[in-house]
Structure 1
Amino acid sequence: MALRSIMGNKLRSALTMLGMIIGVSSVIILVSIAEGSAQNVTSQINQLGTNLLTINTFGTDVALSDGKIDELSKLNGVKAVAPVIQGRVNVKKDRTASQVSLTGTNAAYSTVRDVLVSQGRFITDLDIEYRQKIAVIGADTAATFFGMENPVGQYLQIEGTSFKVVGVLASKGSSLGQSGDNVVIVPLSTGQRLVKSTTINQVFLQGKSENQMDFVMNEVEIKMASFFPSKSDSYSVMNQKDLMDTMSSVSNTMTMMLGGIASISLLVGGIGIMNIMLVSVSERTKEIGIRKAIGAKRRDVLLQFLIEAVVLSGVGGIIGILAGIGLGEILSSLLSLTVSFTSTVILSSFLFSLAVGVIFGVFPANKASKLNPIQALRYE
């Protein structure tokens, strides 16, 4: 009887369900976009390297010498150390000229920063020792100066000096607003000559295990304090895990906020269901009177109206899930957004829609079940 009543008023039932459809699809789309954004940021941070500590010093009086870097590499829990010297250099080949980011580093950099070589090889310790004029270039740099040609074995002019290209990096894309593909990597000793500075102000350390990172960071901070006593403001030690935790906290807050905003439309949909059910009780007062007069108990009437409310919210929830996934996929392709659908979000939004149907359906159903059969039969 509940289902017949719904089918008998198709347009009204469809409009009633519309609130639930919009509510459920809104929750799924907004939360999935928020979670997709969080995953995108996490993957960008991971591109910087895993189990990573970054030491930055400010000024020439707190520069990291080879001896200090060697001491850092011998700390417990440290897997590899990559000192870095950076700058901007003029790169030229034939008639093509451009300014490119230069990184002077050692062989461990590829492991520490999770850098992969798609062609050729990376820098070796021998290249640093013999101050070789060789370069490993990023994917964008390779495309700019060599087009479709294989750059390995060819030469580039860096600040007027000829460098042999020995490798091309696999494309990493942009990471936290910085392109990792428009770069030239040279041996540390050669890089110091190019930027005309021997000062090393940045060192990357990779820990052996993720579980040991807090311990390693503590050891590094103690060692840095012994290197530069009373100069704690002149250097910083950053743990990638701290950055991840901060971003995760921001993402969770954003997800909850968007989910909460979308849930308001579910409540509005619930109010719509209650409104229509109250109208339905008024319309069918005589029918309720007849049912009670021929033996229907209070729970029978209560159950009939409650089933109607739950079916309206349940069907609306199912359509809302399909609409949410469909619209999410469309937005993902049109706006190049990362959308992450999870079964938890989909199931939660559906169960929430059912709960809304039950909660907002109880009052009209209760009102119908309490009607006096004599008064109901006389109702016009």
Structure 2
Amino acid sequence: MALKSVKSNKLRSILTMLGIIIGVASVIVLVSIAQGSTKNVTSRINQLGTNLLTVNTYSTNLELTEDKISELGDLNGVKAISPVVSGRVTAKKDRTTSQVSLTGTNAAYSDVRDAKVKQGRFITDLDVEYRQKVVVLGSETTSTLFGASNPVGEHIQLDGVSYKVVGVLASKGSSMGQGGDNTIIVPLSTGERLVGSTTISTVYLKGKSEDQMDFVMNEVKMKMASLYPGKSDDYGVTNQQDVMDTMSSVSETMTLMLGGIASISLLVGGIGIMNIMLVSVSERTKEIGIRKAIGAKRRDILLQFLIEAVVLSALGGIIGILSGLGLGELVSTLTSMSISFSTSVILYSFLFSLVVGVVFGVFPANKASKLNPIQALRYQ
């Protein structure tokens, strides 16, 4: 009887379910976007290097010299260390010109920053020692200057000076302004000459073990404090895991916020169900009276109207799930956003829609079950 009642008022039933459909679809799409963004950011941060510590200087009064960098590299927990100078240069190949970021570093950079070489080789210690005019290109820079051809062994001009291409990096994307594929890597000594400065303001350190990173970070901080007494405000030591934790916290807050906003639609849908069910009770007062007169118990009437409410919310939940999955795929295709569907989120949103149906269906069902059969039969 509950199903027949839903079928007999198709348009009203569809409009009633609309709030639940929109609510469930919104929860799935918004939370999936948030989770997809979280996974994407986490992946990009991991690509910047594992077990990574970064020492940055903020003042020209504090200089990271080669001797002091070596002392940092000699610490127990440090596996590898890579000083960096950076800047912007104009790269030219034939008639193609491009502004790219330049990184001057040593051979350890590929291990410290997890920079994988796709073609050719990486910078060597000999390149740094003899100030070789060699470059390793990022994948985007390679595409810009050479298209689909292999650039290894070819020459490009950096600020008018010829350099030999010895390698090409695998693509790793960019995150938080770091990394990136539109880059050129040169030996540290060559990079200092290109950017016109021998001041090293950034040093990357790779720890021997992920479990010891807090210990290594304390080691580095103590060493920096002894090397530069009273200058703690002029430098900073950051742990990659700290960045990860901060991003995770922000992402979790964003997910909860988006999920909460979408859940409001479910509540609105529940109120819609309650309103329609109350209207339905008023319309079918005489029917309720007849059923009670021929022996229907209060429990039967309560169950009938409660089932109607649950059927509406369940159907709305199923359609909402399908709509949410379809809409999520559409958003991912049109905007290139990362979407990560979660089975638990889909299940929770469906169960929540059922709970909404039960909660908001109880009041109208209870009202219907309490109707006096005599008064109901006389109702016009």
Identify the residue that residue 246 of structure 1 maps to in structure 2: 246
Identify the residue that residue 347 of structure 2 maps to in structure 1: 347
CA deviation profile, 1:78-101 (whole Å, cap 9, x unmatched): 221111111223333333333332
d(CA) in 2 for partners of 1:300, 1:361: 15
d(CA) in 1 for partners of 2:300, 2:56: 74
1:70 matched to 2:70: yes
Q: Which moved more, 1:69-78 or 1:314-323?
A: 69-78
| Aligned positions of 1:55-94 closer than 5 A | 55-94=55-94
1:191 matched to 2:225: no
Q: Which moved more, 1:138-147 or 1:49-58?
A: 138-147
Identify the residue that residue 49 of structure 1 maps to in structure 2: 49
d(CA) in 2 for partners of 1:147, 1:338: 27
d(CA) in 2 for partners of 1:93, 1:3: 73
Describe the shift of the 1:193–1:367 C-alpha distance in structure 2 as closer, same or farther (beyond 3 A). same
CA deviation profile, 1:140-184 (whole Å, cap 9, x unmatched): 222233233211111222334332111011122332245622221
Letter in 2 for 1:306: L
Cα offset for 1:233?
0.8
TM-score norm. by structure 2 comes to: 0.95
CA deviation profile, 1:92-127 (whole Å, cap 9, x unmatched): 333333333221111111111111111101112222
Give SS of 1:75's match. coil
1:336 matched to 2:325: no
TM-score norm. by structure 1 comes to: 0.95
Structure 1 stretches of at least 4 aligned residues deviating more than 4 Å after TM superposition: none
CA deviation profile, 1:321-376 (whole Å, cap 9, x unmatched): 00011111111111222111101111111011000000000001111111112222
Identify the residue that residue 322 of structure 1 maps to in structure 2: 322
| Aligned positions of 1:96-107 closer than 5 A | 96-107=96-107
CA deviation profile, 1:246-298 (whole Å, cap 9, x unmatched): 22111111111111111111111111111111111112222222222222221
**CA RMSD across the alignment:** 1.7
Segments of 5+ residues of structure 1 without an aligned counterpart are: none
Identify the residue that residue 364 of structure 2 maps to in structure 1: 364
8 Å contact from structure 2 (residues 48, 178) kept in 1? no
Give SS of 1:91's match. strand
Give SS of 2:364's match. helix
Letter in 1 for 2:261: I
d(CA) in 2 for partners of 1:264, 1:97: 53
Letter in 2 for 1:343: T
Letter in 2 for 1:241: Q
d(CA) in 2 for partners of 1:69, 1:289: 90
Identify the residue that residue 23 of structure 2 maps to in structure 1: 23
Describe the shift of the 1:304–1:109 C-alpha distance in structure 2 as closer, same or farther (beyond 3 A). same
How many corresponding residue pairs?
380
Q: Which moved more, 1:9-18 or 1:153-162?
A: 153-162
